[in-house]
């Protein structure tokens, strides 16, 4: 299937989403055309009846025409059902396709995107901004087509009745067009402002719910309510402006429509006085003006739907055109049969603001060995580890695994070779079984149990009400900190990667729990290349090498005994934590 070009013209891109649903679209448009023709039949049949059938006492033909009209409106009713049901179904499918595309694309974006965009705002792009797409994708083409056909058809028939009066009615149309163009821009701006403020509300709600425990712990519920109230007030003001503009827009359209009816009666009366029309023609003309007016109202609704829908679509395109900073090279290869030799060669890194985080970092870590990274907070320890799985790319030097630059291999194969356990474990709102299975989605239940046993959490799981089917709550709220850590360890046991990164995996735990977790981690690290970030130096005793990171550099590198004997930065950390030298 050909990839979509999200940098192409918005209309061309929007139209490309109809392709998988072309049959539904054509059926919807056909039914809309049939309903449109049925509406055009009635005034003409009325004129024919009043001018010919009734005066000439052709009563049989009169009832036949009435029967045809009744049948036409029954067909129209069936078409309306198809338009309402299948047309909306098509719109929902298009909206779902777009939502799938945007979520899939967001999954490919680099960490830097999420560093600069709040979760609630991203959620709004995926949900609220696409709600109006259903209406636009369904009613947009349908309303545009039926409006143009009805306007052109009605005007052609009006010209056959009384072309001077038809031209007078047509003269009002440019006023409507000018009014619409002017206020369409105003509605577009107001709609964009509403969507932006809705995104801020979502972000505020997401933050308030995620941080509810912290807010309660600090008795700051009122402060959180004030934050939301401020965002909500901005939304109300934006919505107020939107309704104000919409009110002017609709009242102006209504006035234009009323003016057309007044003009019809006034000008028609004048032509009757001049014997250029009769009463039947004026009645027919009035009916056709109503038919002529309705599609103009539809066009106004189309413009409103188009404005609202395309505002959301433009925000959709904005995300889709955001490229991932970390991308596979065109000639990137799969990383296979990994042994786990890791090397940092003169590595430097800085974020987009240019502030250096790491400078000229070099070390070699043979496979199966363990490197502990210690140092003060903010020194660059976590960033150093995030360069290995390419969560960020180096700005200088290179990181290699088995002698191959990580930028030369596919991200998927690289990250499958690396297991990561962090201090803040993310647990999905699902069962324990599915949370462990996340380490390898195709794992069997027996393999999941084996991983839990190795992570020393199996017995605790079996003691829970539903065992492995126990629901853990939002972010694993039903589990203790130690249980969440061991669950994450079970995931990595299941994944079985050759390279392991432990990012302060036990720093948030008490000493007793830490000892239990440490035993699991020691078992996990056996035979794997391991990088451990630690604040507690008790966790680095088994490390083959220790790197001390300070002020963007590795200031010391060596074994524990070597660094203690050196009496430098590590020795001071060791002494500060009152650890005995063995």
Measure the CA–CA gap between 522 and 464, rounded to whole angstroms: 26
The reported pLDDT for the residue numbered 320 is 85
Same domain, 157 and 260: yes
User: Do 272 and 389 sit in the same domain of this protein?
Assistant: no
DSSP code, position 580: P
Whole-number Å distance between alpha carbons of 35 and 79: 6
| CATH assignment of the domain containing 305 | 1.20.1560.10
**Does 456 fall in a domain?**
yes
Q: Which pLDDT belongs to residue 186?
A: 80
Whether 325 is in a domain gets the answer no
CATH number, residue 428: 3.40.50.300
Residue 413 burial by Cβ neighbours in a 10 Å radius (0-12, 13-18, 19+): middle
pLDDT in tens, 243-273: 888 888 778 777 777 777 788 788 888 888 8
Q: Judge if 17 and 113 occupy the same domain.
A: yes
Q: Which residues pair with residue 356 across a beta bridge?
A: 350
pTM passes above 0.75:
no
Judged against a pLDDT cut of 70, whether residue 2 lies above it is answered with: no
Give domain status of residue 5, yes or no.
no
By the 8 A CB rule, do 325 and 352 touch? no
Per-residue pLDDT tens over the stretch 507-548: 656 666 667 677 777 777 788 898 988 777 777 777 889 998
pLDDT tens for residues 131-170?
Answer: 777 778 878 888 888 888 888 887 887 787 778 877 887 7
pLDDT band at 346 (very low <50, low <70, confident <90, very high): very high
Q: Is 468 in contact with 433 (CB distance < 8 Å)?
A: yes
Residue 64 lies inside a defined structural domain of this protein: yes
- Of residues 106 and 220, the one with the higher pLDDT is 106
Residue 579 pLDDT: 47
**77 and 211 fall within a common domain:** yes
Is 520 in the same domain as 559?
A: yes
Q: What is the pLDDT of residues 80-99, one digit of tens each?
A: 898 888 888 888 888 889 88
- C-alpha–C-alpha distance, residues 23 and 16, integer Å: 14
- Distinct helix (H) and strand (E) counts, the chain: 19, 10
> Looking at the structure, do residues 465 and 576 belong to the same domain, yes or no?
no
Measured CA distances, 76 to 13, 89, 175, 359, 375 (Å)? 32, 19, 32, 73, 76
pLDDT value for 580: 43
Whether 401 maps to a domain, the answer reads yes
Cα separation of 460 and 449, whole Å? 12
Residues 99 and 142 both lie in one domain: yes
- Which has more pLDDT, 541 or 409? 409
Residue 386 lies in a domain: yes
Q: What is the DSSP letter of 52?
A: I
- Is position 326 within any domain? no
| Structure tokens that stand for 229 in this block | 């109230």
* Same domain? 297 vs 234: yes
Residue that finishes a domain, picked among 496, 521, 540: 496
The whole-angstrom separation of Cα 525 and Cα 504 is 15
DSSP 481-496: HHHHHHHHHHHHHHH-
46 and 117 in a common domain: yes
Q: Given this model, what pLDDT does residue 505 score?
A: 67
Under the banding of pLDDT at 50, 70 and 90, the label for residue 581 is very low
Structural domain including 528 reads 331-417+498-582
* Structural domain contains residue 384: yes
Q: Give CA–CA dist 224/326, Å, rounded.
A: 36
Q: In this structure, what DSSP letter does residue 407 have?
A: G
The per-residue pLDDT of the chain, averaged, comes to 82
Per the structure, the count of domains in the chain is 3
My answer on whether 147 and 271 are in the same domain is yes
Please state which of the ranges 179-183, 292-296, 423-427, 505-509 shows the lowest mean pLDDT.
505-509
One domain for residues 280 and 262 = yes
């Amino acid at each position: 299937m050909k990839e979509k070009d999200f940098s192409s013209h918005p209309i061309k891109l929007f139209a490309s989403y109809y392709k998988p649903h072309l049959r539904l679209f054509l059926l919807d448009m056909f039914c809309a055309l049939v309903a449109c023709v049925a509406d055009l039949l009635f005034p003409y049949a009325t004129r024919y009846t009043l001018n010919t059938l009734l005066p000439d006492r052709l009563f049989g033909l009169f009832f036949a025409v009435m029967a045809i009209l009744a049948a036409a409106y029954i067909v129209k009713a069936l078409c309306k059902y198809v338009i309402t049901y299948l047309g909306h179904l098509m719109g929902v499918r298009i909206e779902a396709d777009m939502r799938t595309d945007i979520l899939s694309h967001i999954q490919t974006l680099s960490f830097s995107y999420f560093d600069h965009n709040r979760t609630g705002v991203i959620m709004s792009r995926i949900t609220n901004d696409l709600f109006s797409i259903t209406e636009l994708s369904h009613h947009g083409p349908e309303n545009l087509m039926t409006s143009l056909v009805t306007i052109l058809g009605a005007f052609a028939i009006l010209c056959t009745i009384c072309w001077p009066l038809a031209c007078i009615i047509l003269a009002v149309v440019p006023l409507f067009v000018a009014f619409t163009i002017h206020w369409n821009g105003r509605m577009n701006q107001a709609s964009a402002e509403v969507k932006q403020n809705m995104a801020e509300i979502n972000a505020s709600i997401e933050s308030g719910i995620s941080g509810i425990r912290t807010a309660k712990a600090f008795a700051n519920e009122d402060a959180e309510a004030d934050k939301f109230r401020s965002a909500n007030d901005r939304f109300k003001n934006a919505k107020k402006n939107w309704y104000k503009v919409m009110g002017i827009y609709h009242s102006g359209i209504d006035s234009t429509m009323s003016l057309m009816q007044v003009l019809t009666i006034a000008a028609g009366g004048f032509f009757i006085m001049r014997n250029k029309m009769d009463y039947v023609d004026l009645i027919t003309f009035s009916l056709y003006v109503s038919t002529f007016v309705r599609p103009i109202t539809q066009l106004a609704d189309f413009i409103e739907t188009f404005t609202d829908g395309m505002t959301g679509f433009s925000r959709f395109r904005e995300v889709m055109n955001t490229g991932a900073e970390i991308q596979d090279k065109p000639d990137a290869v799969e990383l296979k049969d990994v042994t786990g030799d890791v090397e940092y060669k003169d590595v430097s890194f800085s974020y987009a603001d240019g502030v250096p985080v790491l400078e000229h970092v070099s070390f070699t870590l043979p496979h199966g060995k363990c490197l502990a990274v210690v140092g003060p907070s903010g020194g660059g320890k976590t960033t150093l580890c995030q360069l290995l799985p390419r969560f960020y790319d180096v700005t200088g030097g290179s990181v290699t695994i088995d002698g191959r630059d990580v930028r030369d291999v596919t991200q998927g194969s690289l990250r499958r070779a690396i297991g990561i356990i962090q201090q803040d474990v993310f647990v999905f709102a699902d069962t324990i079984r599915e949370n462990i299975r996340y380490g390898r989605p195709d794992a069997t239940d027996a393999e999941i149990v084996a991983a839990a046993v190795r992570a020393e959490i199996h017995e605790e799981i079996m003691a829970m009400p539903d065992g492995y089917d126990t629901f853990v709550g939002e972010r694993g709220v039903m589990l203790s900190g130690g249980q969440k850590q061991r669950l994450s360890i079970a995931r990595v046991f299941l994944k079985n990667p050759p390279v392991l990164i432990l990012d302060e995996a036990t720093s948030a735990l008490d000493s007793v729990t830490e000892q239990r977790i440490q035993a699991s981690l020691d078992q996990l690290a056996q035979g794997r290349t391991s990088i451990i970030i630690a604040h507690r130096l008790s966790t680095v005793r088994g490390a083959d090498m220790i790197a001390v990171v300070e002020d963007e550099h590795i200031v010391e590198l060596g074994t524990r005994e070597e660094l203690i004997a050196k009496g430098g930065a590590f020795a001071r950390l060791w002494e500060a934590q009152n650890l005995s030298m063995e």
